[in-house]
Chains A and B, each alone.
Chain A
Amino acid sequence: MSGPTTTPYRSALTGGRDTFGRLLLAEWTKLRSVRRWMLTLISAAVLTMLVGLLIASGSGGTREVTGGGAGGKVRLADHYTDGGQFVERELAGDGELVARVNTQERSAGRAKAGLMIRASDAPGAAYAAVVVTPDHGVRLQSGYDRDRAGGGGPVPRWLKLVRAGHTITAYESADGTGWRRVGRVDPGQLPQTARIGLFVGSPDAVEVERQFGNEGISGQTTTGKATFDHVRLTPAQPQQPTGTWHNRVGPDGSTGPSGPAVERPGAGPPPGFTEVDGTFTVIGTGDIGPDPFGEDGTQTILGGVLIGLIAVVALGVLSITAEFHRDTIRTTFAAVPRRGRVLAAKAIVIGAATFVAGLVGTFGAFAITGPVERGKDRIPAGLSDPNVLRALIGTAALLAVVAVFALAIGAILRRGAPAIAVVLALLLIPRIVGSGLSVSTATWLERLTPAAGFAIQRTFDRYDSTVGPWTGLGVMCLYAAAALVVAGWRLRRRDT
């Protein structure tokens, strides 16, 4: 019965070195070779684009032209407002304007009364202004986004604006004799003959109001009023035909309500100015500067990400729970016994794959919505416009972090459906509960839940922004990191 001893079969191949690179490759192969998962990734990108297109075609036409733009078209990247009341004269060449702001009504903490020089009456024209505010002292502003604090106390206060070539220098004084320089700016594109004069503005107040079961936050018009005296323009300008003080000509060609005052019911005194013995009383509504009430076109077209998000959450969760379900996790852990490294490799692969799909989705949505906006006489934001790239890349990064978060929750709960439910509930809770919530509750939800991550889609700070873009994404990252730590700990401690 005894035969020759048989040697058990041994593979002639040497075992692969246990490097992290091989682990990554293995996980990528798993993800790549399950057709359903690749379809999910592709559909996340495609849905983001298509829904963005749908949103772009179904929206629009409601935005007021406060900023203006080229030929009546609305530039979606413009987030400035060019309101307020400007009582102006022409100034040929160099010169200076001096005036004392005698009184200023406290219509808003940042209500403005002061002197302005601007290139033209057209909306969005280059300007520089030195103004007094009730709560924030003297400010020197230009370019709709530059704002320099100039110290100084309350009204009455003397202000002086000097033009020399391209540069504007602003001074302030308590008594009109001892002048202190506030600063010097180059507003750019100032023509030889510019417009100079008195400016009064008052930004909209943000109000929280509850009615009919909805609590909303909105802007309410406020009316600023200030009196100026000792107004002196040097050198003296010719009186006719445009040499007298007049209101700025509106974008529609109207000279504003400078003639017979049109009473608007419940809106306070109409904007305009009166002059009595050298004392100017100027009433104005609206503001000049960044517009916190505008529509964020880039954020709007990225709305399709909500659909893509669902696919990404499902993918992240299932990429690990499917292994538990099919018991392939035993094989995986037999091949790589260090479970933390498996989780890390899965997180990197799923995060990177989702990031790429997210980039395709966001840039695709950006590209295909452009023609739609142009068809509606709106000029879409360009990649070079401020924060647009941040929003597009950041949204893809948000999707990647969400996928990693979903993976971690999946690893903790080990079952697909409950994990998907938990992740989606956490991400969508402020939106699920909706506008019935009080604004304060909604604000804190948007700061403290993973939903904060959506802040990265913003391209400018709106009046209803609750959390900064990077802070918001950071909150989401913290959730993902914490979930990963718990998941790693649970994987090591528990049997498969």
Chain B
Amino acid sequence: MRNAAHAEWTKLRTVRSTGWLLLGLIAATVLVSALATSAMHTSHCPTPAGCFEDITKDSLIGVRVGQIAVVLLAVSVIGNEYGTGMMHTSLTAHPRRLTLLAGKALPLATLVATASTLAVLASLWAGRTILAGNGFTPEHGYPTPPPIDGPTLRAAAGTILYLTLIALLSFGIALLIRDTAGALTVVLTLLYILPLLATAITDPDWHRRLEKLTPMTAGLAIQTTRNLDRLPIAPWPGLAVLAGYTATALLLGTLTFTRRDA
């Protein structure tokens, strides 16, 4: 297991695209967060305090775009090996398939979690600084610097978990599909198109049900720090829904991987 993890770590480390994608994750997350928050202003609120603005959640909005890099990285870890035929070599070196998979998933998850931590911290800092300049100040009920309290920690740690779960979900789907482009398409559909369809369904009951079951909407509930009663699903149960998707994808992916000829 250690050997497998070490070998896979070397592969991941030495592929040039890995660094670019992790950089892309951080850059896209921070940039989108900064751009989005710079256009938010208390003058758009009924009253400056009447906005009930969730500073933490707004600062982390860039994750919605940055996660594309995570998906891309995770599906290439599997997909590119099938694409180049490298999978045969890997399996010859590590015939125990479960060990090989664990050896691949572990470095991937570690890398994504590390880069996510940087992205989340930088976004939080950028978003809070920018929003404080846009009227979200202590006089209006938005403390600066905002307290590092329970909900904020939950949002920050939860977002890192969210991105890691997205990586593993993509990993699992890539195992099922064995093709980088195909797996990417499926994951992006699951993440982005399902919530759009949920908004197109105006029937309130179905809308609510769909919102609870879409991986991105449910998973990102973890970013909310106030007015939790307005969420379609509570933060931790929401993340659990995403974890359910991830577990299912990993399970099915592992089953097919261990039973199917490479």
Cβ-defined contact, A55 with B72, below 8 A: no
Cβ-defined contact, B57 with A58, below 8 A: no
- A-B pairs under 8 A by CB, number: 125
Q: Does A310 contact B (CB under 8 A)?
A: yes
Looking at the complex, which one of B32, B58, B65, B72 makes contact with A417 (CB distance below 8 Å)? B72
A150 to B188, CA, bound (A): 54
Cβ-defined contact, A417 with B39, below 8 A: no
> Which of chain B's residues has its CB closest to A436's CB?
B61
Cβ-defined contact, A441 with B35, below 8 A: yes
Q: Could you tell me which residues of chain B, from 37 to 59, have a CB within 8 Å of some CB in chain A?
A: 39-41, 44-46, 50-54, 57-58
Given A213-B57, A314-B181, A420-B181: A440 and B68 interface contact (C-beta under 8 Å): no
Q: Could you tell me which residues of chain A, from 419 to 454, have a CB within 8 Å of some CB in chain B?
A: 420-421, 424-425, 428-429, 431-434, 436-441
Cβ-defined contact, B44 with A55, below 8 A: no
A185 to B192, CA, bound (A): 50
Q: Does A32 contact B (CB under 8 A)?
A: no
Cβ-defined contact, A307 with B200, below 8 A: no
Q: Could you tell me which residues of chain B, from 60 to 95, have a CB within 8 Å of some CB in chain A?
A: 61, 64-65, 68, 71-72, 75-76, 79, 83
**Interchain nearest-CB distance for B212 vs A (Å):** 15
> Which of chain A's residues has its CB closest to B36's CB?
A437
> Which of chain B's residues has its CB closest to A216's CB?
B44
Cβ-defined contact, B39 with A58, below 8 A: no
**B-side interface mostly:** helix
Q: Does B14 contact A (CB under 8 A)?
A: no
Cβ-defined contact, B65 with A431, below 8 A: no
Cβ-defined contact, A431 with B39, below 8 A: no
Residues of A within 8 A of B192 (CB): 424, 428, 431-432
Q: Does B22 contact A (CB under 8 A)?
A: no
Looking at the complex, which one of B52, B57, B200 makes contact with A211 (CB distance below 8 Å)? B52
Report which residue of A212, A313, A428 has the largest number of chain B beta carbons within 10 angstroms of its beta carbon: A212
Q: Which of B2-10, B149-157, B201-209 faces chain A?
A: B201-209
**Interchain nearest-CB distance for B201 vs A (Å):** 4
Cβ-defined contact, B44 with A58, below 8 A: no
Cβ-defined contact, B230 with A210, below 8 A: no
Residues of A within 8 A of B52 (CB): 211-213
Given A58-B201, A58-B202, A303-B200: A432 and B64 interface contact (C-beta under 8 Å): yes
Given A209-B44, A417-B75: A437 and B180 interface contact (C-beta under 8 Å): no
Looking at the complex, which one of B61, B184, B188, B189 makes contact with A433 (CB distance below 8 Å)? B61
Cβ-defined contact, A321 with B46, below 8 A: no
**Interchain nearest-CB distance for A439 vs B (Å):** 8
**Interchain nearest-CB distance for A64 vs B (Å):** 13
Cβ-defined contact, A418 with B201, below 8 A: no
Cβ-defined contact, B197 with A306, below 8 A: yes
Looking at the complex, which one of B51, B54, B188, B200 makes contact with A300 (CB distance below 8 Å)? B200
Cβ-defined contact, A209 with B46, below 8 A: yes
Residues of B within 8 A of A55 (CB): 197, 200-201
Q: Does A357 contact B (CB under 8 A)?
A: no
Q: Does A343 contact B (CB under 8 A)?
A: no
Interface string of A40-71 (1 = CB under 8 A from B): 00000000000100110011111000000000
Residues of A within 8 A of B193 (CB): 306-307, 310
> Which of chain B's residues has its CB closest to A432's CB?
B64
27 contacts between A and B (CB under 8 A): A55-B200, A58-B203, A62-B202, A209-B46, A210-B40, A210-B44, A210-B51, A210-B53, A212-B230, A213-B58, A303-B196, A306-B193, A314-B185, A417-B76, A420-B181, A420-B185, A421-B184, A424-B68, A424-B188, A425-B68, A432-B65, A433-B61, A433-B65, A437-B61, A438-B41, A440-B39, A441-B39
Sorted nearest first, the 8 A-B pairs with minimum C-beta distance are A416-B181, A58-B201, A210-B44, A438-B39, A59-B202, A441-B39, A417-B180, A303-B200
